[in-house]
């Protein structure tokens, strides 16, 4: 069972170099620092997790435009830069998924990018247990109706042209990454399939990826499964309601 993330010990600030406009790429400077004392946090202060030291999990308030980005170090200690092309106008919420050397524990550091939405946000709360993306069909199954504070076993099955797909390529040291966003955007969950993780780029996975999920609160949760095939990342969206 994945360990519950640690309370944040770091702060994250984000400075887009231009206003966010849907479809337009903007350069963003991110700064990581310790909450106590504001000391810059550089890559040397972070441990690698899933082949990267800093994963940014990015979502819009309508839970429809998810990005997973790995910034490069910037010019100053604790500074990082990345290019971001929003699919939507308005603001985004970002979590830095990191393991500080100081604690050795995974934590999610939250910050907002761009202007928060002025008008009330309408989230599509429909339950979606299947998705068709880029010619792949994805099916999500859960071993029980999800309820708050209880672990649920999930599996995502991938097929192509009606056949089970077994050509999933390793992506960030796993055959898939599942990220869950509760609709209140106060937390995030990043989990990986159970079982053997790929040890070489030549290995292939699928069709079924099993994982654990322990939603903390009741309400609507948007899930994204990220897999890689033919060198291209594919993101499959699902929607579940936690009791």
- Which residues sit at the interface with Cu ion, rule CB under 5 A? 52, 55, 172
Q: Least Å distance between CB 40 and Cu ion?
A: 21
Q: Least Å distance between CB 198 and Cu ion?
A: 15
- Residue with Cβ nearer Cu ion (67 or 222): 67
- Distance, in Å, from the CA atom of 50 to the CA atom of 68, rounded to the nearest integer, reads 13
Nearest CA to 92 out of 55, 127, 54, 121 is that of 121
- Residue with Cβ nearer Cu ion (68 or 222): 68
- Distance, in Å, from the CA atom of 15 to the CA atom of 120, rounded to the nearest integer, reads 24
- Residue with Cβ nearer Cu ion (55 or 222): 55
- Distance, in Å, from the CA atom of 40 to the CA atom of 204, rounded to the nearest integer, reads 39
Here the tokens at position 239 are 């929607």
117, burial (CB in 10 Å: exposed 0-12, middle 13-18, buried 19+):
middle
Q: Least Å distance between CB 226 and Cu ion?
A: 9
Q: Least Å distance between CB 121 and Cu ion?
A: 26
Q: Least Å distance between CB 97 and Cu ion?
A: 7
- Element (DSSP H or E) covering residue 76: none
Here the tokens at position 200 are 């070489």
Here the tokens at position 86 are 């929003």
Q: Least Å distance between CB 162 and Cu ion?
A: 31
- Residue with Cβ nearer Cu ion (41 or 171): 171
- Residue with Cβ nearer Cu ion (31 or 192): 192
- Residue with Cβ nearer Cu ion (82 or 220): 82
Nearest CA to 10 out of 72, 96, 71, 92 is that of 96
State the residue number with the nearest CB to Cu ion: 55
Give the CA count within 13 Å in the CB-facing half-sphere of 113. Answer: 34
């Amino acid at each position: 069972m994945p360990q519950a993330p640690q309370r944040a010990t770091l702060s994250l600030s984000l400075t887009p170099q231009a206003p966010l406009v849907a479809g337009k790429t903007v350069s963003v400077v991110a700064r990581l620092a310790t909450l106590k004392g504001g000391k810059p946090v550089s890559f040397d202060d972070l441990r690698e997790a899933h082949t990267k030291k800093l994963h940014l999990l990015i979502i819009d308030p309508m839970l429809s435009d998810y990005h997973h980005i790995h910034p490069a170090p910037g010019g100053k200690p604790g500074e990082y830069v990345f290019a971001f092309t929003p699919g939507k106008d308005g603001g985004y919420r970002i979590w830095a998924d990191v393991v500080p050397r100081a604690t050795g524990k995974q934590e999610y550091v939250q910050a907002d990018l761009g202007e928060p939405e002025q008008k009330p946000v309408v989230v599509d709360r429909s339950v979606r247990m299947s998705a068709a993306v880029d010619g792949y069909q994805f099916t999500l199954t859960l071993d029980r109706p999800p309820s708050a504070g209880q672990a649920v076993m999930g599996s995502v099955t991938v097929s192509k042209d009606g056949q089970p797909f077994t050509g999933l390529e390793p992506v960030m040291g796993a055959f898939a990454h599942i990220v869950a966003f509760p609709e209140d955007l106060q937390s995030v969950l990043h989990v990986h399939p159970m079982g053997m993780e790929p040890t070489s780029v030549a290995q292939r996975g699928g069709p079924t990826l099993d994982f654990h999920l322990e939603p903390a609160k009741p309400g609507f949760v948007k899930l994204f499964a990220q897999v890689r095939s033919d060198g291209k990342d594919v993101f499959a969206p699902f929607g579940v309601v936690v009791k």
